[in-house]
Structure 1
């Protein structure tokens, strides 16, 4: 005997069954996502400073392939293209990174090194680029703040986005007066973990990529901040093409996840702010 079901009721049954299947699939998907998150054995915070920009595209593509967000510290450095990293020609690249959810801090516009502290809170500095490149200058904290904010201004012009309230002193050279200047300017300074120094600035004949990869894989632990550059002029055997992909894959196999410094516990208090001029 064939059971006759009214068409409207049959349609309702089909709809409810489909909804049930979809809900079950969504639940299983959410549960899988939670399981994946629960399997994360620690977080590594990848950071990249500007440089020759010879590896900029490779770094972006590698991070995108692995669905990783990183933090970039920007200075207006000379690039392999013959221009500078914060020139308008680089706007599409920075816009793309911003759209992908990466974080950004200032590395001072002219990549200004701190030399030493001076009386009355001043700092002796030495810009690498710009009109005063190679000169030693006596700067007030306000002058150093203005230099950091130049990056924020240019980043807003190039991307329409605000810079994050983070900065990194070029060369990692940080003096007491310089630290105070950055804090007064509204920026939290970001160093890196001892195991987080990629070594990409070191001569490749003495520090081959295989050694640097092994050092990073063996040394990095939960919460470490890792530092590399977007291209180094002096290194003959570039770091990123040989090390970045196997480093990320190796850390993923160990159960590590990755995040920007927006999620780092040490910097959580500065967010909710933007580093505006």
Structure 2
């Protein structure tokens, strides 16, 4: 290895390379989570997590990708199988990336799918139909990998109501959003919110127990978040004494 020219650079490299269990004790736990998206950063994120021995949680939906296919197509089976083998956790992000809009009269739920046969249309669905949409992602994921999803889900945009949360719970899924400090900002304009600003904000504000959220690629962001920020984020959090865990180990999973 070439000799580091700056002490800060050496510290960064050492922290980034440190396995999750290398510290004598964790001063806190951060839950890294990634939602499907354009998938443009999917390989980089997976390689980086594996390189630094970090287990994360992936929330999956069938989204259009930069490869011209869909994130839950059979063409993505090798990718998801590899992540399963690495020991990550997986939850539903609804199959068609269905946005909750508002609670309708009579117990129904107004939604707007981003993809699928009803993409861009306002729909009114029953709680059981909403539950079925959560389950669809899991059914496809199991077809691709032979692995059932963990009993967790995340609503697109994090938008929920008591009714949608109840619908998810009724079909066995616990909802997980993210902490205010855990919003990566990868959906924002890279001109208005440069990666350096997003990284500094995350390192300054993330605390024990926080859930962090980013995507496996965002169509609109010109300067991708992950290549600039993921390794420094992992290193910086480890320097603060943080360890990483999947949502399988989150206290919220232990609630009835």
Q: Same fold (TM over 0.5)?
A: yes
1:45 aligns with 2:31: yes
Which of 175, 179, 188 matches 1:189? Answer: 175
Determine the C-alpha separation between the residues in 1 that align with 2:62 and 2:53: 27
Alignment of 1:197-212 (within 5 A): 197-212=183-198
Determine the C-alpha separation between the residues in 1 that align with 2:74 and 2:98: 21
1:241 aligns with 2:232: no
1:155 aligns with 2:145: no
Q: Deviations over 1:85-116 (max 9, x none)?
A: 00000000000000100000000000000110
Determine the C-alpha separation between the residues in 1 that align with 2:61 and 2:107: 24
1:255 aligns with 2:241: yes
Determine the C-alpha separation between the residues in 2 that align with 1:207 and 1:222: 25
Deviation at 1:247, TM superposition (A): 0.5
Which of 133, 144, 152 matches 2:130? Answer: 144
Match for residue 94 of structure 2? 108
Which of 42, 46, 52 matches 1:56? Answer: 42
Determine the C-alpha separation between the residues in 2 that align with 1:69 and 1:216: 19
Determine the C-alpha separation between the residues in 2 that align with 1:154 and 1:171: 21
TM-score, normalising length: structure 1: 0.83
Match for residue 209 of structure 2? 223
- Please tell me the root mean square deviation across aligned C-alpha atoms, in Å: 1.3
Aligned residue for 2:43, secondary structure, equals: helix
Q: Deviations over 1:217-254 (max 9, x none)?
A: 00001110000000000001100010001010111111
Determine the C-alpha separation between the residues in 2 that align with 1:211 and 1:48: 20
Aligned residue for 2:219, secondary structure, equals: coil
Aligned residue for 2:172, secondary structure, equals: coil
Q: Deviations over 1:238-276 (max 9, x none)?
A: 000100010101111111100000111121347xxxxxx
Determine the C-alpha separation between the residues in 1 that align with 2:161 and 2:249: 26
Mark the structure with the bigger radius of gyration. 1
Which protein is richer in helix relative to its size? 1
Determine the C-alpha separation between the residues in 1 that align with 2:255 and 2:71: 29
Aligned residue for 1:228, secondary structure, equals: strand
| Structure 1 unmatched ranges of 5 or more | 1-32, 271-277
Higher relative contact order (CA 8 A, sep 6+): 2
Query: 4+ runs of 1 displaced by more than 6 Å?
Result: none
Please tell me whether the aligned partners of residues 117 and 176 of structure 1 are also in contact (alpha carbons under 8 angstroms).
no
Number of equivalences: 237
Alignment of 1:23-102 (within 5 A): 36=22, 38-102=24-88
Q: Deviations over 1:151-190 (max 9, x none)?
A: 1110110000111000000011112211111111110000
